[in-house]
Amino acid sequence: SQKIEQNSEALNIQEGKTATLTCNYTNYSPAYLQWYRQDPGRGPVFLLLIRENEKEKRKERLKVTFDTTLKQSLFHITASQPADSATYLCALGVISNFGNEKLTFGTGTRLTIIP
Amino acid sequence: DAGVIQSPRHEVTEMGQEVTLRCKPISGHDYLFWYRQTMMRGLELLIYFNNNVPIDDSGMPEDRFSAKMPNASFSTLKIQPSEPRDSAVYFCASSQTTDYTFGSGTRLTVV
């Protein structure tokens, strides 16, 4: 069966350290993978996209890697700050039965940065 | 742009009642998606539209759920009759390319 698993429901990291979140998938062949941030009571907000032929993408303090052999993406936040505390969702861009791409989401990891 | 606008923000209704959720996508976005989020199942895609035409409704749980997009600036998701297990946060999202812009969601509670 198809699955998208994020490493843990909750992750606590000391301020200033690097937070690393994991997204593993099975029985998907995604064209791309995205990461979103969700704050309580709000909708997810797009952060980064990485395509299947890309190994790494960076944006300010964020870095994403994508290994299609391992079927895994890693999401890093360097020099973490309390304001980075949120739930982070990975999402796979997959081809639907109707030929269009659609996003399928993991269940998310709740990240807390401890001052 | 004000982003994706959903209404109402909260809805409490009695079992058996009809519920209508509304969404205004970002102008110029060709795709519109309805998702449902629960603690147990996370974000699930219910249905999506391309240029106002429903493309994939395989995620709609039952015939009690229906969605329409009469024009490029408005979509509705209707549940009739509602049941307690429909309680969740319903999100609308729109996109022009690959990244989605989500609304703030409608928290539905069916009692």
Counting one residue from chain A and one from chain B, the pairs whose CB atoms sit within 8 A come to 54
Other beta carbons within 10 angstroms of residue A81's beta carbon come to 12
d(CA A66, CA B9): 36
pLDDT for A26 equals 92
* β-sheet bridge partners, residue A63: A58, A76
SS3 A16: coil
d(CA A74, CA B45): 24
Task: For residue A100, name the pLDDT band (cuts at 50, 70, 90).
Answer: confident
pLDDT for B3 equals 94
pLDDT for B1 equals 67
Give the mean pLDDT of A46-65. 95
pLDDT for B99 equals 87
Residue A78 Cα, gap to closest chain B Cα (Å): 23
pLDDT for B28 equals 94
Interface test with B, best of A33, A64, A98 (most B CBs within 10 A): A98
Q: Which one of B45, B98, B104 has the shortest CB-CB distance to A43?
A: B104
Q: Which B-chain residues 18-57 have CB contacts (< 8 A) with chain A?
A: 33, 35, 41-43, 45, 48, 50, 55-56
d(CA A103, CA A34): 9
Q: Which residues of A touch B105 (CB under 8 A)?
A: 41-43
Residue A32 Cα, gap to closest chain B Cα (Å): 9
**Would you say residue A86 has pLDDT above 70?**
yes
Length of chain B: 111
Considering only A5-9, A61-65, A94-98, B50-54, which range has the smallest mean pLDDT?
Answer: A94-98
Nearest CA in chain A to B39: A107
pLDDT for B40 equals 87
Judged by CB atoms closer than 8 Å, whether chains meet at B98 and A49 is answered as: yes
d(CA B75, CA A63): 35
List per-residue pLDDT tens for chain B, 111 residues long. 689 999 999 999 999 999 999 999 999 999 999 999 998 889 999 999 999 999 999 899 889 999 999 999 999 999 999 999 999 999 999 999 888 999 999 999 999
The angle at the Cα of B107, spanning B36 to A38, to the nearest 5 degrees, equals 65
Instruction: Please give the C-alpha separations between residue B95 and each of A22, A63, B30, B38, B100, in angstroms, as whole numbers.
Output: 25, 23, 6, 23, 5
pLDDT for A9 equals 81
